[in-house]
Structure 1
Amino acid sequence: MNKTAVRTLQRFLSDQKTYNGSIDGIRGPKTLAAINATLRNHASQLPDGAERWSDRRRAVACLQLACQLSKIEAGPIDGLWGPQTEYAASVLATLQTTGSKPDPWRDRQPTDANPNNWYREAELEQALGSPTRKPPLTVVPCPWKLALAWDLNTCPSGIGCHELVADSLARILSRAHDHYGPQRLRELGLHRYGGCYNKRRKRGGTHWSTHAWGLAIDWDPAHNKLKWGRDRARLARLEYDTWWRLWEEEGWVSLGRTRNFDWMHVQAVKL
């Protein structure tokens, strides 16, 4: 049970009027007292012997109860943290922060919208010139505080990208900030900026990277490594679905969503 799940539990306890502490993800004495009070209030829904469970198991049981009360399938209330409980907790977190459950993401494919008429990779050099020459860059301010992924003490004020994509990028950042808010963006690691313009070839390839034209951005590379797929990459999780939809609605492409590798990478270039 991670800190995000504990924060979800604390929000539930607050709604139950048994907790008035900080939503800090720390399972301290106040949270434990609220858990016990809430479980007593719903004792009829617990199995026999639940009162003898450890504090950790009772916390998981309380989160399972929260999911059950919100009509989210979490399996039996057994206090055991498994894949079903973990998924149910992420659905509850989305419900708490957005007011609705996430769409059934496994039924949906990434959108192929292209409202900005982005070029395809094969067209870039002819349309925008050689990647060996520095492109016309502009800095797009970010509405939440960024930190360089490899040096979290360095906080750039914005993202330097090709001027062609600046307006689109500004819209996406604004919408992401409005949807998630700065605290949630930080919790999700979306303040960990991995760079935009970089005159280099593709890692593991011979062609020029879309970064060489300032048309691609990397997010939280430490938790979304190049060869990682959906089973490991953080940005593949359910709670990032809206994040990716905001990019896709502007025609940007996630390599993770379309190719299941390099989940850190999103580009204003069609494949």
Structure 2
Amino acid sequence: MDTRTLQQLLAAAGYYAGGLDGDFGPKTFAAMLAVEAKHADGYTFDPTTTTEARRHTACAQACLEELGHAPGTIDGWVGANTTEALNAFLFQTINGKPEEIERAPLPNAPRVSSIPSQSEVDRVYGTPGAQIKSRLTMIELPFKLRIDYNLRQSTNKITVHRDCAPQLEKALIEVRDHYGAEAMRDLGIDRYAGTYNHRKMRGGSKWSMHAYGCAIDFHHGPNGLRTPCPQALFCGPDYKAFLDIMEANEWLPAIRLWGKDAMHFQRATL
């Protein structure tokens, strides 16, 4: 997180009134301390005991949260949620209005009668917030996935809606059986980028499928929200089996639903 951008966020959130000069001086430091004091309960770590870069990123995440851009957990790591929250902030700052991202269905988009459409998820999965949280469950895989925003960490535990968990667990085990650990790592398929997140859709006003616990992301960088085929990594031939397995288990690839956001899979049709 560069200092000038951090100063922009601090100023927008009302903590900083100095110049946007990229100089991390006393005023910027004081503003960061004020953010840390206000959001102490929201930080997942002690910001005074980490690197300067991680501390600045966490401060930016706290500001983005205040400004309504849903950066995810205040953990100091730059993942997909933090990146897209910052994109949303910068777009609105420059253009004076929120970004709108079109998700028009492709003519051959998958249609699966056994799962709800996005317009039906409230009725089928529940209402985002307390009701969805009460219906979440944890999958424990027999192998680990690397955390996309911090590849030194890994997990075999994934939290999703209880009505989506069996299909996701089966799909991921089949993906592992098909590719094997080494190929999954080489291809980046094992880079887990998140599931449940109580937030609105990026570039839209409706609830994200992540807020229902029926979405999962992998390998954000080359498969981003605005990246179409053939530029997205997951559009390559080596990834066809991955997409096929996920789709066969009712977890539909966004790249096959609306032609972008290849990192994203959801158990809902358009």
TM-score grouping bracket, smaller chain normalisation: 0.5 to 0.7
Structure 1 match to 2:159: 160
Cα distance in 2 between the residues matched to 1:245 and 1:231? 17
Q: CA RMSD in A?
A: 1.5
Which of 160-169 and 133-142 deviates more? 133-142
Structure 1 match to 2:173: 174
- Could you say if the C-alpha distance between residues 238 and 143 of structure 1 is closer, same or farther in structure 2, counting changes exceeding 3 Å? farther
Q: Normalization by structure 1: what TM-score?
A: 0.56
What displacement does 1:206 show? Answer: 0.7
What displacement does 1:258 show? Answer: 2.3
Structure 1 match to 2:189: 190
Structure 1 match to 2:246: 247
Q: Normalization by structure 2: what TM-score?
A: 0.57
Structure 2 match to 1:124: 121
Aligned partner letter, 1:254: P
Structure 2 unmatched runs, 5+ = 1-107
Q: 3-state SS of the aligned residue for 1:146?
A: strand
CA-to-aligned-CA distance 1:133-192 (integer Å, 9 cap, x gap): 224222212343212111112212221111101111111111111110010011110111
Asked if the contact 1:218–1:266 (Cα under 8 Å) also holds between the matched residues in 2, the reply is yes
Structure 2 match to 1:264: 263
Structure 1 match to 2:210: 211
Cα distance in 2 between the residues matched to 1:143 and 1:262? 27
Count of residue pairs the alignment pairs up = 161
Identical aligned residues as a percent: 32
Cα distance in 2 between the residues matched to 1:153 and 1:260? 31
Structure 1 match to 2:103: none
Q: Which runs of 4+ in 1 moved over 6 A?
A: none
Which of 120-129 and 215-224 deviates more? 120-129
Matches within 5 A, 1:94-173: 111-114=110-113, 117-133=114-130, 134-173=133-172
Aligned partner letter, 1:121: Q
Structure 1 unmatched runs, 5+ = 1-108
Structure 1 match to 2:236: 237
Aligned partner letter, 2:162: E
- Normalized per residue, the structure richer in strand is 2
Cα distance in 1 between the residues matched to 2:228 and 2:110? 19
